Each structure stands twice: as structure tokens, then as C-alpha cells.
Structure 1
Amino acid sequence: MSVDKALAMITDCNVTWEQLRKIKRYSAGQNIPSERKICKRQEELIDGVFMATTQKLMQRSTRTKGLSLTDSAVVWMTKIEDTIGAHLEQHFMLDNLVPFNNEIWLKFGGDQGEGSTKFEVQILNIKSPNATRNVIVVLLFEAPDCLYNIEATLPNVSCEISNMNGKKWRDYTLRMFGFGDYAYLTKLYGLLGPTGRYPCLFCTLTNREIHAGKTPDVA
């Protein structure tokens, strides 16, 4: 088995290193490359595509139960448009791309889980756009998704993401949408959340007006 094929198997099947070791024990005749060779190939593939650094981000303190600034790992993609273009080409060649009104829809958003926050792009005009293999992570940091951390890290990718909206790929126009749960979107819009004066993402009614049953004005 070649190094590239082993790396493709790990990626496509979500194989951990521990699982790979077990596979190697049960398939001695397959000549699966060593972890060192696979890691070296990974480094070659991502060289120049990702940037990694440390930034002062808010972390939850186990001592005070609050937040404090701590050096945290931050990684982001530097060639987002090229990477998404490569994914689109792959789906196009596999006849897996279904444009809508000569448009390709993309969505950008964030999510927190397992101690890190990641921002990702997904191509919507394909089968199972939310599947792990179709998620393109463009920014990740080891910290909670509080407003301070989002404002500190999002500029690493925001310009390239916003510039993609309306661009042409082949004969299609790219359209970028935002997505996320309510907690994330309130941070993105600069709102305080459900207890704030203006809790709604779609209108300017105050919290008191919403509870009083007032309906928003329709333009």
C-alpha cells in the first residue's frame, strides 16, 4: 500500500493512530506504511496551506471558574479559495455537483466541541453536505467560542471568505451563507443573547416587546 493510499484510507474512514496499529497487526501482508512516513506525507501536503501560531485567548480557569487570557493554539487555512475550488472540481468530475439557478451555495459557520472551536465551509449542492468528509475546516483554536476569541481569530480568514461571495467558478456564481446555532449567531451579530435587550436575529423588537406579543414591522 502506498503512503498516499494509506493516508486516504485514514482520512476517508476516520481511522485513529491506535486503530491503524490494530489494522496493521491484522493485515500484515498489506504492507501499510509506517506512521512516520504517513506523518511526513501529511506535512508535505499541508505545507503552505495552513498557518499555526499562538494567541492570547480567553480560557476557562479551573481555579476561579472564570475566564482569563492564556496562550492558545490557533490554526487557519491560507488558501481557502484554492482548496474549495479543488473540492468543487472533484465533485464536478464525479458528477456529484447539482448547481441551483447557475449558483453554487456555500455555508460558513462555527461550532465548539471537545475543548476547541472550529470554523468551516461546506458545499451545499452535493449529497450529504454535513458529512464529515465534506466539511472543510478553515480555522481552529483551542479555546471557547466566546465573543473575544471570535473577534481575535476570525480576521485570519474573514476577508477571503467574504471575497468568495459572488465570485465565478466555471460558469457558476458562488454564494456564501452563514450558519450556526443561536448561541454562535448572537456572538457573530454582536448580540447579548436571549436575555439581552435585543435578542432576535431577524428584527429589532426589544425583549419586553416580544414578551408583550408585539409583531415586527414588515417592510
Structure 2
Amino acid sequence: MFPKHVRTHHRLHHGHKPEELDFLIRRESVSGGATSSQMQREFGRLNEEEKENLLKGVGLRPGIPSGAGLLLKANLALSWNKLRHLRRWLRNWNVSLDSESKDREKAKGMTSPLVAEQLPFTFTVKGPDGKLATEVRLASCVCLEDISSTVLQRLDLLEREGKLTWHGVIPSDEIWLKIGGDKGGGSTKAVFELCNVAHPNSIENTIVWNIFQAPDRRHNIETAYKINLSQINALCGTMWK
């Protein structure tokens, strides 16, 4: 005789074969009605290969929370191409990420408006006589439309997350902003970093505000930064709170 609480099994296991139903009834009896906990214990006793085969057998794909792909991309400084390779690799282990199209759609609502244009930059080339010469040609330049609003939004986010700090050095009524740049891979990038965080030089705190496909010459820098220079100067007198 099974305990009376088992008599509800016909509502829980409708559609099973007789031998399956008998097994499920016994599991419910052994567990005292706590079938989920019993199945967890049974699953926990399996080795890793058995667990993997079981999950594949029932077609279960462990999912990573929606939006996690963008976090991976940002925290690991991955390009879209590298994230694509990572997504394929995870799929081999039965782990799924959001599709790239979904990630790109989410990213649109998380990025600041951009300005993209072709500008006249200077390049060093070899002339007909074999001597080095300067050539002017159009090349791509992309920058933030408004650095000021991006910095203020960033400050609001850091404040909500409780990540702002003054390090015991920065005056309590000041926000310090570091402007820097880097040349590499055929492009020149300009970044800013807020100093009022625990790790100012971390990748997570480094925001690219301008990038152009040309050498980091004075003329090229002045040409590329013409949109943002006045905004950066205006930041010096901006009141945040």
C-alpha cells in the first residue's frame, strides 16, 4: 500500500506508459511527495558525462540570461566577430546565447548617438621618385555626437551602482576626467576615463569617443576632433549635481 498522498499521481503523470507510471509512483512514495528534490538528488549522483548525455537526450539547452552576450563583449573587449566564434563554441557544449541580431538590437538602445563622416586626412606615401611624400585623401571618422551628455549619463549610472569614489584625493565637489588616445591597427582612437571610480584605467571604464582611419598626426587629430573639442572644453564648467 502506498501513502494516501500518492493517490493524486494520476493528475500529475497523465499520458505515461504503465511501467513509467509505476516508476514515478514509486519515486513519489520514496520522496514523500517531494519528487523535484528527489530528482535533483538522483541527477547529482550522475557523473559529468552522464549529466551531459541526459541533458542532450531531452533536448535541454542551458541558456545564458538574455543580454549576457553584450556583457561578455564589453567585459572581454570582444569584437562582433570574436563574439560570433564564442557563440558557436558554446553551442558545441549545448549552451546558447542570444542571437547576434538580438544583441545588436539591444546595443542600439545602450549606445550614445554617433556621427560618421569621411574627412580629409594626411598620409605618408612614396612619390614617383621613390621619395616620401604627403598625400591627402578621405578616410572614415566616427565620434560621439555629444560627449557632455555621455559623460553625465555615465556619472548617473555609476552613482546608481554605488561605484563613485573620490580616493581621498579628489575634492568632494569635483569630477576628474582623463582624456587619452591610442594609435594601432591602422586607426587612431580617443578615449575618456572617469577618475572617480575604484579602477580608472580598467577596460570597463574606458570609453572610446572618437576613432579615425589615419595616422595620429597633428593635422589629422585636429581634423577628427573638431566636432568634440568645444564639448570637452565646455565640460570643465559643467555642473553635474
TM-score when scaled to structure 1?
A: 0.68
Q: Give the alignment partner of residue 75 of structure 2, picking from 7, 12, 18.
A: 12
After superposition, the Cα gap between the structure-2 partners of 1:106 and 1:67, relative to the gap in structure 1 and judged at 3 Å, is same
1:53 pairs with 2:117: yes
1:67 pairs with 2:130: no
Superposition misfits of 4+ residues, deviation over 6 angstroms = none
Aligned residue in 1 for 2:150:
83
Is contact 1:121-1:138 (8 Å) kept? yes
1:96 pairs with 2:154: no
Residue 60 of structure 1 aligns to which amino acid in structure 2?
T
Residue 76 of structure 1 aligns to which amino acid in structure 2?
C
Residue 4 of structure 1 aligns to which amino acid in structure 2?
G
How many residue pairs match? The answer is 169
Q: Give me the whole-angstrom Cα distance separating, in 1, the residues matched to 2:219 and 2:210.
A: 15
Aligned residue in 1 for 2:227:
156
Range with bigger deviation, 122-131 or 8-17: 8-17
Q: Give me the whole-angstrom Cα distance separating, in 1, the residues matched to 2:224 and 2:163.
A: 33
Is contact 1:104-1:125 (8 Å) kept? yes
Report the alpha carbon displacement of residue 2 of structure 1 after superposing the two structures with TM: 5.4
How far does the alpha carbon of each residue in 1:91-149 deviate from its partner, in whole angstroms, 9 at most, with x for none? 22232212322211112233322211112211112122112221111111110111111
Report the alpha carbon displacement of residue 66 of structure 1 after superposing the two structures with TM: 3.3
Report which of the two has the higher share of helix. 2
Identical amino acids, percent of aligned pairs: 25
**Which blocks of at least 5 consecutive residues in structure 2 are unaligned?**
1-63
How far does the alpha carbon of each residue in 1:133-168 deviate from its partner, in whole angstroms, 9 at most, with x for none? 211111111101111112212111011111010221
- Within 5 Å, give how 1:135-154 maps onto structure 2: 135-154=206-225
In our comparison, the structure showing a higher alpha carbon Rg is: 2
CA RMSD of aligned residues (A): 2.3
Is contact 2:124-2:135 (8 Å) kept? yes
Q: Give me the whole-angstrom Cα distance separating, in 1, the residues matched to 2:215 and 2:119.
A: 13
How far does the alpha carbon of each residue in 1:41-78 deviate from its partner, in whole angstroms, 9 at most, with x for none? 334544x6111011111123266543311110000101
Q: Give the alignment partner of residue 102 of structure 2, picking from 30, 34, 37.
A: 37
**Which blocks of at least 5 consecutive residues in structure 1 are unaligned?**
171-219
Q: Give me the whole-angstrom Cα distance separating, in 1, the residues matched to 2:189 and 2:233.
A: 17
Is contact 1:3-1:41 (8 Å) kept? no
After superposition, the Cα gap between the structure-2 partners of 1:79 and 1:30, relative to the gap in structure 1 and judged at 3 Å, is farther
TM-score when scaled to structure 2?
A: 0.62
Q: Give me the whole-angstrom Cα distance separating, in 2, the residues matched to 1:27 and 1:118.
A: 31
After superposition, the Cα gap between the structure-2 partners of 1:89 and 1:61, relative to the gap in structure 1 and judged at 3 Å, is same
